[in-house]
Structure 1
Amino acid sequence: MRRVIHLSDLHFGRTDPAIIEPLIAQIHELQPDLVVVSGDLTQRARSSQFRQARQFLDALPTPQLVVPGNHDVPLFNVAARLLQPLRKYKRHITPDLQPLYVDDEIAVVGINTARSLTIQDGRVNDRQIELARRELAAVGDHLVKIIVTHHPFDLPPGPQHHGLVGQALPAMRAFALCGADLLLAGHVHASSAVSSAARYRIAGYSALVVQAGTATSTRGRGEANSFNVLQIEAHQIVVHRLGWRAEERAFGLDASQTFVQRGSEWFEQLADGQIATDP
C-alpha cells in the first residue's frame, strides 16, 4: 500500500499564514510515500512567491512530484508570459515539466497543462499525451498508474466556473490504452472523487478522478482549506479529504470514499459493501 498526499492551489502570495506550519507538521506525521502538488504554487508568478513556495516544498517530505498551474505563468508581464511563461517556475521549483515517479507499487506521470495564451484555461497537446501513454504503458500492469495535471478531466457537482482541460477526450482515450487508474488535479478549489464513466463513455474502461481543494490559499470559494490523503493499492483506492479546523489549528477528516477496480473500471464502494455501477 502507498500513501500519497495530494496538495493543490497553494497560491503563495495569497495564503493563510496560520495554516502553513500545521500543514507541514501534519504531512510529516502522515509519513507519505509521495507528495503530489497539482499546480498553482503562486498567486502571480512573482519571484518572491516562488521562493516562498520553494521554502514550503523544502519543508515537506520527499519524494515529491509537482506540476505548474495557470497562476504560475506571469499575468501582467506580457513579454514573459508569451516568451518564457514558466521560466521562474523552472528556476525555483523544477525544470521538469513532465515529471515521472515509479516505485514497486505506483507509477505517476505529471503533465503541464498551463498555457501562455489563456488566462485560466489549460490543455494537453498530442506530444504530451503520447509521452504519458508511452511512459505508463512501459511499466507493469501490476502498478497503479496515476496522471497528475493542474486542470481537471472532470468537474465537481454544482455551479461550474471552469471548463475541462483542453483535449480531454483524446487524452482519456490514450489513458485507456495504457490503463491509467487515477487522475489527480486541482484548479477549481473544490474537492471531489468520482469515476470517469459518467463523463467519458469508453467501453470497458473508467478511471478514478480526484480533485483537491486549495490547501493554503484564502481563495476558498466556499470550501474550507483542504488536502487529500490517498491510500493506494492494487484494485483499491481510499480517498480521505482533510479540512482545516481553525479552532484546532489542524486538519481533520471531512470525508472518506473507497473505490475498487473491476477489470479495467473503477467503481465507488458503498457503505453496505456494494459498488455503485451506474455512472
Structure 2
Amino acid sequence: MRTLIHLSDLHFGRTDPEIIEPLVAQVHELKPDLVVVSGDLTQRARSSQFKEARAFLNMLPQPQLVVPGNHDVPLFNVAARLLQPLRKYKRHISADLQPLYVDEEIAVVGINTARSLTIQDGRVNDRQIEHARRELAGVGDHLVKIIVTHHPFDLPPGPQHHGLVGQAVPAMRAFALCGADLLLAGHVHTSSAVSSAGRYHIPGYSALVVQAGTATSTRGRGESNSFNVLQVEAHQIVVHRLGWKPEVKSFALAASQTFVQRGSEWFEQTADGLLRE
C-alpha cells in the first residue's frame, strides 16, 4: 500500500499563516510515500510568492510531484504571460512540466493544464494526452496508474464557477486505453471523490476522480481548508479528507470514502458493503 498526500491551491500571497506549520507537521506525521501538489502554488505568479512556495515545498517530505496551475501564469504582465508564461515556475519550482514518478506499486504522471491565452480555464492537448497514455501503458498493469492535473476532469456537486479541463473527452478515452485508475486535481477549492462513470460513458471503464480543496489559501468557497490523504493499493483506494479546525489549530478527519475496482471500473463501497458508481 502507498500513502499519498494530495495538496492543492496553495495560493502563496493569499495564505493563512496559522496553517503552514501545523500542515507541515501533520504531513510529516503521516509519512507519505509521495506528496502531490496539483497546482496554483501562487496567487499572482510573483517571484516573492514562488519563493514562499518553494520554501514550503522544501519543508515537506520527499518525493514530490508538482504541476502548475493557472494562477502560476502571470496575469497583468502581458508580455510574460504570452512569451514565457511559466518562466518563474520553472525557475523556482520545477523545470519539468511532465513529471513522472514510478515505484513498485504506483505510476504517477503530471500534466500541465495551465494556458497563457485564458485567465482561469485550462486544457490538455493531443501531445500531452499521448505522452500520458504512453507513459502509463509502458508500466505493468499491476501498478495503480495515476494522473495529476490542476484543472479537473469532473466537478463537485452544486453551483459551479469553473468548467472541465478542455479536451476532457478525448483525454478520458486515451486514459481508458492505458488503464488510468486515479485522476487527481484541484482548481475548484472544493473536495470530492467520484467515479468518472457519472460523466463519461466509456463501456467497461471508469476511473476514480479526486478533487482537493485549498490547503492554505484564504480563498475558500464554503469549505474549510483541507487536504487529501489517499491509501492506494491494487483494486482499492481509500480517500480521507482532513479539514482545518482553527479552534485546535490542526487538521482533523472530515470524511472518508472507500473505492474498489472490479475489472477496469471503480466503484464506491458503501458502509453496508454495497458498490455504487
TM-score bracket for the superposition, by shorter chain length? over 0.9
Q: TM-score, normalised by structure 2?
A: 1.00
Match status 1:257 vs 2:257: yes
Distance 1:151 1:160 in 2: 13
Q: Which amino acid aligns with 2:268?
A: E
Aligned partner of 2:3 in structure 1 is 3
Aligned partner of 1:83 in structure 2 is 83
**Counterparts of 1:175-190 in structure 2 under 5 Å?**
175-190=175-190
* Paired residues, number: 277
Aligned partner of 1:105 in structure 2 is 105
Q: Which amino acid aligns with 1:57?
A: L
Find the residue that maps to 1:27 and give its secondary structure: helix
Aligned partner of 2:39 in structure 1 is 39
**Counterparts of 1:110-125 in structure 2 under 5 Å?**
110-125=110-125
Q: Which amino acid aligns with 1:84?
A: Q
Aligned partner of 1:145 in structure 2 is 145
Find the residue that maps to 1:62 and give its secondary structure: coil
Please tell me the root mean square deviation across aligned C-alpha atoms, in Å.
0.3
Aligned partner of 2:164 in structure 1 is 164
Aligned partner of 1:241 in structure 2 is 241
Aligned partner of 1:224 in structure 2 is 224
Find the residue that maps to 2:61 and give its secondary structure: coil
Q: Give the Å deviation of 1:93.
A: 0.2
Q: TM-score, normalised by structure 1?
A: 0.99
Q: Which amino acid aligns with 1:76?
A: F
Aligned partner of 2:199 in structure 1 is 199
Runs of 4+ in 1 over 2 A off after TM superposition: none
Aligned partner of 1:17 in structure 2 is 17
Q: Which amino acid aligns with 2:88?
A: K
Q: Give the Å deviation of 1:154.
A: 0.1
Distance 1:102 1:248 in 2: 37
Find the residue that maps to 1:80 and give its secondary structure: helix
Distance 1:26 1:86 in 2: 30
Distance 2:274 2:207 in 1: 18
Distance 2:43 2:145 in 1: 30
Q: Which amino acid aligns with 1:142?
A: H
Q: Give the Å deviation of 1:274.
A: 1.0
Distance 2:63 2:46 in 1: 25
Alignment identity in percent? Answer: 87
Distance 1:147 1:207 in 2: 10
Distance 1:25 1:190 in 2: 23
Q: Which amino acid aligns with 1:37?
A: V
Q: Which amino acid aligns with 1:50?
A: F
Once the two structures are superposed, what CA deviation does each residue of 1:36-56 show, in whole Å capped at 9, x if it has no partner? 000000000000000000000
